[in-house]
Amino acid sequence: MIRSSEELVKRYNETKGKILNRAGLETNGRKEVLVCGVAGCKSLKSDTLVERLREAISDNGLDIEVKETGCFGFCEKGPIVKVMPEDIFYSQVNPKDINEIVESHLVKGEVYKKKLYINPETKKAIETTKEIPFYKKQVKIALRNCGFINAESIDEYIGAGGYQALAKALEMTPQEVIEVIKESGLRGRGGGGFPTGIKWQFARNNESQTKYIICNADEGDPGAFMDRSILEGDPHSVIEAMAIGAYAIGANFGYVYVRAEYPQAVERLELAIEKAKREGLLGKDILATGFNFDLEIRLGAGAFVCGEETALIASIEGERGMPRTKPPFPASKGLWGAPTIINNVETFAVIPEIIKKGSEWFKGIGTKKSSGTKVFALVGKVKNTGLIEVPMGITLREIIYDIGGGMLKGRKFKAVLTGGPSGGCLTEEHLDEIVDFDRLKELGSMMGSGGMIVLDDKNCMVDIAKFYIDFMVEESCGKCTPCREGTIQMYNILNNITSGKATLQDIDLLESLAESTVSTSLCGLGQTAPNPILSTLEYFKDEYIEHIEDKRCSASVCKDLINEYIITDKCTGCTICAKNCPVECISGERKEKHTINKEKCILCGDCFNRCPFDAIVTR
Amino acid sequence: MIKLAIREEQIKELKNKIKTHKEKPGPLMPSLHDAQKLIGCIPYEIQKMISKELNIPVAKINGVVTFYAQFSLEPKGENIIGVCLGTACYVKGAQAILDKIGSELKIKSNETTDDGKFTLEATRCIGACGLAPVMTVNEEVYGNLNVSKSVEALNKHKEGAIND
């Protein structure tokens, strides 16, 4: 039990040695091995690596700990194994590499070169994490502990300075806490970008016996996994921040509303809550200050609309997750009619750092109106996919080319999608634009929760618009007619366009439907649902016209506009297409031009996407 | 369609769980999650039972059950195949994978094979975007897929299903 802030300091002093050693700040000469135990790496069987490492270490008579941590971010190169404190980064590690790594690095002290990351530019192996270009431009605040501490150990969190922000906040008045958050300029990371401090102030000003604080972890944007990584890699940071927020607004109870699709995140969070309770950091009279705060998990049930605050509240109350009219805003009348604050996971994750280091420090990072950093899931057709945290104000080019390593297979950049199904696309002319809340909005997209999907010339923009509106057709809660019916009609029009059955008037109809859905829907879902259509129409109208007039999809995505795939004289006979064809309809001798059997071909497009020489075309 | 047999013990266990939820505000969602987990679906008779236990009209419960994608009225197959259609997977060709698996199993998404062995689902993002495109068979995740690799993965489980 940690009963007072003195006891917290004592525990910190007992546990910090290990963390400082790992960070290479104060070495005690002991090595440690870290293995990413979440998301991508876990699905590549990183747990087998942990077992094999432990076996190999004990076989060699060594006493070295192996820790499962949260996400290192560089998912593309997973599974990743790091040796600390020297911070050596081994990528794409197989169970069969383990013996060599242990014998070479841990026994003899020589870095095992074969599994190091190779810089694709210079073709040279890179030893330490910080030298890898993917990490160079990143600034980690929300992800400070992800991939660094063992998420299941509260002692490691405390050793890394955890819960000290709570102790500090409890020595301040609630109003002082709110002032720090206000001054920091922190804006909601869930997508809306509303100033967090002002939201807290509203809830503080509303007098009530009961108030609630809720963490929105219903990460629904398909193509984004920021919240998942934080919950799995550093759950205590969210718990600590929720306690700080509760103290500031005057709440004594909180809920974490988390997607049921993230079982590991739920498990880690449950464990973290249990440990925090056992240590007295949740519960009654926290750190002997008289402040009481308790926390419970509520599972989402697969409804995207529940990311909207009022729908989320309805869901916790046991109703259909349908948004309610605002005002009253949740800060005055929220869960069960009580003043309620809802913040996103990432917003919470940065709060302890702001309390500890002060608002000036936070304001020093980012742009004038968007301070701090933002976590993005950088995915799609870039070389380095993964989870990144960058200062606001970085350019898209820096993200895609410096961190992302440029386009996959050297293809041509076409667009980047931000803001998920509520956002839009940005094109080549925007690459040197900066990323912050206001600039992205001005450009017709939005920050969103942090999905960033890069597209190349083999992606069709009309198809992307159709994909997103199809998502919204399913996810519209059905309350407002323009959203319920409008999304279906927009989908039908887009479907006609991609199957060659539309006329040019359909574009006007699409635009007018989109605009009326935006202006007449109640909640954010409906108001933003047509954004991908409006944004692709703005920047890629030619593609819409090409589909309608020429009945052609130049990206060769829209199946109804493809009659057949043909192999041209560019074919070198490399056999890649033939080897991978699922129906084995491609034939030809090695180093000779191949042919496709039209009768057997199912038009899956696998060969088209795979051909390194662009030798396959459609007709 | 697969026949559903609900055992006495399952009902008893569910009732016990509902009792603990009843002590707290907002007991419906946690009760429905437990029902889905214990029984595999929430058919009308279970909705009626929950209605009685929580004193909430069955019409309202039905409304909630049918609103959320996680709750189903009918049982799912023994193996659940989820082809991720999140954006990151979609732009890397997940639709072709879903189509192919569907044609291999002769079902559409959200359907179950006649023998009750497989249910095919188009899932939204599972957060493994770095490995896109991905598919899951039960708990197992297959990443960096293409059409032919996805068929291989399916066949592995088909053999397993026959051996059972």
Examine the pLDDT at B135 and tell me if it is beyond 90: yes
B12 min Cα distance to partner chain A (Å): 22
Examine the pLDDT at A389 and tell me if it is beyond 70: yes
pLDDT bracket for residue A2 (50, 70, 90): very high
Q: Model confidence over A369-386: pLDDT tens digits?
A: 999 999 999 999 999 999
Q: Does A404 touch chain B (CB under 8 A)?
A: no
Residues of chain A with CATH 3.40.50.11540: 154-363
What integer best gives the mean pLDDT of chain A? 94
**In the prediction, which pLDDT does B159 show?**
80
Show the 3-state SS of chain B. Answer: CCCCCCCHHHHHHHHHHHHHHHCCCCCHHHHHHHHHHHHCCCCHHHHHHHHHHHCCCHHHHHHHHHHCCCCCCCCCCCEEEEEECCHHHHCCCHHHHHHHHHHHHCCCCCEECCCCCEEEEEECCCCCHHHCCCEEECCEEECCCCHHHHHHHHHHHHHHHHHC
Q: Model confidence over B66-95: pLDDT tens digits?
A: 999 999 998 888 899 999 998 889 988 899
**In the prediction, which pLDDT does B160 show?**
72
Quick one: DSSP state of residue A559? G
pLDDT bracket for residue A412 (50, 70, 90): very high
Question: Which residue in A223, A301, A336 is closest to B87 by CB distance?
Answer: A223
CATH topology for A563-618? Alpha-Beta Plaits (3.30.70)
Calculate mean pLDDT across residues A588-593: 93
The 10 Å CB-count burial string (b at 16+, else e) for A282-299 is: beeebbeeebebbbebbb
Angle between helices A345-357 and A164-171 (to 10 degrees): 70
Examine the pLDDT at B164 and tell me if it is beyond 70: no
Q: Domain map of chain B by residue range?
A: 8-67, 79-163
| Structure-model confidence comparison of residues A199 and A37, the more confident one | A199
Q: Residue A524: what residue type?
A: G
Examine the pLDDT at A272 and tell me if it is beyond 90: yes
CATH topology for B79-163? Glutaredoxin (3.40.30)
Residues of chain A with CATH 3.30.70.20: 563-618
CATH topology for A373-456? Ubiquitin-like (UB roll) (3.10.20)
**In the prediction, which pLDDT does A45 show?**
83
Q: Model confidence over A287-301: pLDDT tens digits?
A: 999 999 999 999 999
Residues of chain A with CATH 3.10.20.600: 373-456
Q: Does A451 touch chain B (CB under 8 A)?
A: yes
Instruction: Tell me the C-alpha distance between A298 and A425, whole Å.
Output: 34
B132 φψ region: left (φ > 0), alpha (ψ -120 to 50), beta (else): beta
Record: contact B130-A605, CB cut-off 8 A: no
Instruction: Tell me the C-alpha distance between A186 and A447, whole Å.
Output: 14
pLDDT bracket for residue A15 (50, 70, 90): very high
pLDDT bracket for residue A44 (50, 70, 90): confident
pLDDT bracket for residue A148 (50, 70, 90): very high
Disruptive mutation site among A41, A42, A43 for chain B (greatest number of B CBs within 10 Å): A43
Say what percent of chain A tops pLDDT 90.
87
**In the prediction, which pLDDT does B39 show?**
93
What residues of B are in contact with residue A261 (Cβ under 8 Å)? Answer: 123-124, 126-127
| Structure-model confidence comparison of residues A302 and A540, the more confident one | A540
Q: Which residue has the tokens 């899956």?
A: A604
What residues of B are in contact with residue A78 (Cβ under 8 Å)? Answer: 130-131
CATH topology for A461-550? de novo design (two linked rop proteins) (1.20.1440)
Question: Which residue in A299, A420, A453 is closest to B33 by CB distance?
Answer: A299
Check if the beta carbon of residue B87 is closer than 8 Å to that of residue A420: yes
pLDDT bracket for residue B5 (50, 70, 90): confident
Q: Model confidence over A440-486: pLDDT tens digits?
A: 999 989 998 899 999 999 999 999 999 999 999 999 999 999 999 99
Specify the DSSP element, H or E, that contains A325.
none
Instruction: Tell me the C-alpha distance between A58 and A259, whole Å.
Output: 39
A31-128 CATH: 3.40.30.10
Q: Does A220 touch chain B (CB under 8 A)?
A: yes
Check if the beta carbon of residue A390 is closer than 8 Å to that of residue A403: yes
**In the prediction, which pLDDT does B1 show?**
52
Examine the pLDDT at A189 and tell me if it is beyond 90: yes
Find residues 91-120 of chain B whose CB sits inside 8 Å of chain A: 91-93, 96, 99-100, 103
Examine the pLDDT at B163 and tell me if it is beyond 80: no
Q: Does B80 touch chain A (CB under 8 A)?
A: no
**Which chain B residue shows the shortest CA-CA distance from A603?**
B96
Record: contact A301-B92, CB cut-off 8 A: no
DSSP secondary structure, A142-173, as one string: TTTTTTTS-TT-HHHHHHTTTTHHHHHHHHS-
Q: Model confidence over A547-559: pLDDT tens digits?
A: 999 999 999 999 8
Find residues 268-327 of chain A whose CB sits inside 8 Å of chain B: 296, 298-304, 315-321
Question: Which residue in A44, A229, A455 is closest to B143 by CB distance?
Answer: A44
**Least confident stretch, A323-332, A514-523, B36-45, B155-164:** B155-164
pLDDT bracket for residue B3 (50, 70, 90): low
Calculate mean pLDDT across residues A176-191: 96
Q: Model confidence over A352-365: pLDDT tens digits?
A: 999 999 999 999 99
Examine the pLDDT at A201 and tell me if it is beyond 70: yes
Calculate mean pLDDT across residues B127-147: 86
Residues of chain A with CATH 3.40.30.10: 31-128
Instruction: Tell me the C-alpha distance between A416 and A313, whole Å.
Output: 33
What separation in angstroms does the CA of A460 have from each of A333, A554, B100?
Answer: 44, 8, 21
Q: Does B27 touch chain A (CB under 8 A)?
A: yes
A154-363 CATH: 3.40.50.11540
* The token pair that represents A429 in the structure block: 């002319």
Disruptive mutation site among A76, A335, A379 for chain B (greatest number of B CBs within 10 Å): A379
- Write the CB contacts of B80 (distance below 8 Å, at least 6 apart in sequence): B118, B119, B121, B136, B137, B138
Residues of chain A with CATH 1.20.1440.230: 461-550
What residues of A are in contact with residue B68 (Cβ under 8 Å)? Answer: 301-303, 321
Find residues 120-139 of chain B whose CB sits inside 8 Å of chain A: 123-132, 134
CA end-to-end distance (rounded Å), chain B:
20
Q: Which residue has the tokens 């709440």?
A: A251
**In the prediction, which pLDDT does B2 show?**
58
**Which chain A residue shows the shortest CA-CA distance from B71?**
A301
Question: Which residue in B27, B29, B129 is closest to A379 by CB distance?
Answer: B129
Calculate mean pLDDT across residues A69-76: 90
Counting Cα atoms < 13 Å in the Cβ hemisphere of A300 gives 30
Instruction: Tell me the C-alpha distance between A263 and A260, whole Å.
Output: 6
Q: Model confidence over A328-348: pLDDT tens digits?
A: 999 999 999 999 999 999 999
Counting Cα atoms < 13 Å in the Cβ hemisphere of A178 gives 18
Q: Does A586 touch chain B (CB under 8 A)?
A: no
Record: contact B130-A39, CB cut-off 8 A: yes
